[in-house]
Amino acid sequence: MLQTWQSFAVDLINLINCYQRRLLGWLALGLICFSLNACQSSPPPLEFAPDGAVVQQAITFQLNRTQTALSQHLNAPTPDFEISKINVKNIEAIAVDNLPAYHLTGGYDLKLILPRQTVTQKQNPFDLYLQRQSEGKSWRLLKKDIDPRTNEEKWGSYLVELEATEPAS
């Protein structure tokens, strides 16, 4: 009878050890899954999306870049332009290279001031990727570029310079 109880006790201890190992395995797996999810960057809140001045300066930057390249190619002066009626149709909070960013699409009106005429274009489309700098004082325009060495797509980053505003008196 004593031997039966000893055998039962040994079997019970082995069973408890087996369940402890399984439980520890499941806990370790859960901890790993939790850690992996915690490392993923979540999209930034839309409340921190760029304001109209940032969007206008980003569009201006793109237009300046395009107009300068076109003017150099045509050996012509770079025209002046005015941007108005910016209409943001979609704002998407995303992560680019594990950093928060915003993808904005919409349209704007463009007035090109050429030497002999003025041309107005209504609702030109825009597609911008903007990322706030870590200190929160400036923005960068992100562009998908092709690395000529590897022929792979990568993100280029350009500072969006905001015009200085006079402090309110």
Prediction pTM value: 0.67
Neighbours of 118 (CB within 10 A): 12
Residue 150 has pLDDT above 80, yes or no: yes
Neighbours of 53 (CB within 10 A): 14
Q: What is the mean pLDDT of residues 4-32?
A: 66
Quick one: pLDDT at residue 97?
83
Question: Which range, of 77-86, 92-101, 157-166, averages the lowest pLDDT?
Answer: 157-166
Write the DSSP symbol of residue 150: T
- Percentage of the chain exceeding pLDDT 70: 73
Cβ-contact 141, 126 below 8 angstroms? no
Q: What is the mean pLDDT of residues 38-51?
A: 67
Quick one: pLDDT at residue 79?
85
Helix (H) or strand (E) holding 105: strand 99-113
Q: Could you tell me the end-to-end alpha-carbon distance of the chain, in angstroms, rounded to an integer?
A: 97
> CA of 169: how far to CAs of 63, 78, 165, 166, in Å?
34, 37, 12, 9
Quick one: pLDDT at residue 162?
77
The residues with which 80 forms a beta bridge, in sequence order, are 113
- Please state, rounded to an integer, the average pLDDT across all residues of the chain: 81
When comparing pLDDT for 5 and 82, which is higher?
Answer: 82
